Amino acid sequence: MNSVDRDVVALVDDALHSKLLDYLQGRGWRLHRATNADELARLFEQQDFHVGLLQLHGIGEGTLFDLVGRQQSLQWIALMDPSFLRPTPQHRNFLAGVYDFHTLPVDHGRLSMSMGHAWGKGQLLKQPLSSPGSLVQHGIVGNSPAMQAFCAALRKASKVDAPVLIGGESGTGKELAAHAIHNMSARSNNAFVAVNCGALPTHLIQSELFGHEKGAFTGAHQRKVGRMEAASGGTLFLDEIADLPLDLQATLLRVLQDKVIERLGSTRQIQLDIRVIAASHVNLEEAVAKGRFREDLYYRLNVIHLVAPPLRDRQGDVEVLAQALLDQFSWETGGKVKGFSRQALRAMNQYAWPGNVRELINRIRQGVVMAEHPYLTPEDLGMERRASDAGRPTLDGARAKAEIDAIRSALRRCQHNVSEAARELGVSRATLYRLLERYALSGPYKGKTTPEQRSSTPGTPAAGDSASHLTRPSPPSAR
């Protein structure tokens, strides 16, 4: 029937194996049999499968269940003896996520048909999420009209060398967008150097940006190349540009105009060849109007202005992003979670996502860790109350946005010292940490949180989780 054989992994006993072998081989299936967890693990190392047959009762016990979810696109078909009436919780979890099940003795024709469908679904799931307007190859998922327009603008911006200013709410993907512009540009073989203007200690900013010579100041034990020089030939990403102190704004303006820098402690001028991309979640026009940001620097940076759209304006993207994230996290945790319940999808679509994509990431990561069933519920995502919210915008959403703005301003004023910011906001440190977790606000923050504080946050990933979002992930290239 098929010119190309399709591979199927089979966890079946001897008797069933010999009954299935000839029939399935005759129909273009290549059977790879495993009889225990070690053999299955070995097969998984060798190749990806789209279809698996697993005979419950007699085989498929214990540690095997830890392995069956390992390959995300693998669709399992359970084969059950009719006398198998008392499934264990492990069996039940497995059965909830299977593609199909058959009772023994199998009807060969029906089995072959369901294997064909399962194989097709597995193959579809294996395809990278892609669509004509998207930039999925740069990690940007989403194909809503708002994202298509944004991605088209990123593409255009990557073709020229002019400065770009990226605006947009927290967690909308401004840094990701800056990476995409760099990666699509003629500078992609050189460095992408990110500087978080809000996280640099004031007294170090100059030396971080421009570098210093040995002995330039107390503690300058050796020469240091600054971030601007490190970005030469490549792209300098000035993140949270609104946080740059006013005196340094003047210095930066001069550097951008003259394209030369001097290391601290040296008068030698170093020519710069950099492309500048700046980002800010603060409305810079307002900052200019309030005298907090220099107008001349604003115009110098704002040659191409892009705005990353908030998640609530990306129709249909929540589901696509959620599915892509689920695949990623579920894989990391052994593939026990297969998808979202209908209520969870409804709750996600109704929610206003004040923390945008970063919040979605954190809720799904939390859900995959906490889930007791193969299909995530609103409760797993920490959205139980919101499932019943009707329409948008909600009061909760408005309150959350106001809280996020107040927290970010306080952290900025207190140079990201959580204790001081908490004092200023009139809440305890633990409460502020809880809010940082809830809204998925990125760090780094000064001041330590204890494991007790972290685990006291409802739904917080286990303490020590290396994926903690309180630590800003490093971008792929040099910083």
CA torsion sign, 413 to 419 to 424 to 429?
A: positive
Q: Of 79-87, 138-146, 383-391, 395-403, which segment contacts ligand ATP by CB under 6 A? A: 138-146
367: left (phi over 0), alpha (psi -120 to 50) or beta: alpha
Site for Mg ion contains 380 (CB under 5 A): no
Tokens 């402690």 sit on residue: 265
Task: Tell me the residue nearest to ligand ATP as measured from the CB.
Answer: 173
442 binds ligand ATP (CB under 6 A): yes
DSSP states along 311-359:
GGGSTTHHHHHHHHHHHHHHHHTTS---EE-HHHHHHHHH---TTHHHH
Q: In terms of CB distance, is 95 or 287 closer to ligand ATP?
A: 287
The option from ligand ATP, Mg ion, none interacting with 173 (CB < 5 to 8 A, set by class) reads ligand ATP
Judged by CB under 6 A, does residue 212 bind ligand ATP?
no
Give me the least distance between CB of 301 and Mg ion, in Å please: 15
- Figure out which of the listed residues 60, 69, 142, 354 binds ligand ATP, where binding follows CB under 6 A: 142
141 binds ligand ATP (CB under 6 A): yes
Please report, as residue ranges, which positions from 161 to 180 form the binding site for Mg ion (by CB under 5 A): 174-175
Give CA 218 to chain center in angstroms. Answer: 41
- Interface residue with ligand ATP among 112, 144, 170, 343 (CB under 6 A) is 170
- In DSSP terms, 260 is beta-bridged to 271
Shortest Å distance, C-beta 131 to ligand ATP: 12
**Which among 61-69, 166-174, 270-278, 375-383 is the span making contact with ligand ATP, rule CB under 6 A?**
166-174
Q: In what order do the strands lie in the sheet with 304-307?
A: 192-196, 235-239, 275-280, 164-167, 304-307
Binding mask 318-347 for ligand ATP (x = CB under 6 A): ---x--------------------------
- Considering the complex, state which of residue 175 and residue 229 has its C-beta at the smaller distance from ligand ATP: 175
Which of residues 139, 316, 451, 458 is near ligand ATP by CB under 6 A? Answer: 139
Contact 470, 436 (CB under 8 A): yes
Using alpha carbons, select from 446, 444, 168, 138 the residue that is nearest to residue 306: 168
Q: Is position 359 an interface residue for Mg ion (rule: CB under 5 A)? A: no
With 0-12 / 13-18 / 19 or more C-beta atoms within 10 angstroms meaning exposed / middle / buried, residue 305 is middle
Alpha-carbon torsion (64, 65, 71, 74), positive or negative? positive
Contact criterion met (CB below 8 Å) for 295 and 253: no
Q: Which of 172, 249, 377, 460 binds ligand ATP (CB under 6 A)?
A: 172
Q: Which residues bind ligand ATP (CB under 6 A)?
A: 139-142, 168, 170-176, 281, 308, 321, 357-358, 361, 442
What is the binding site for Mg ion (CB under 5 A)? 174-175
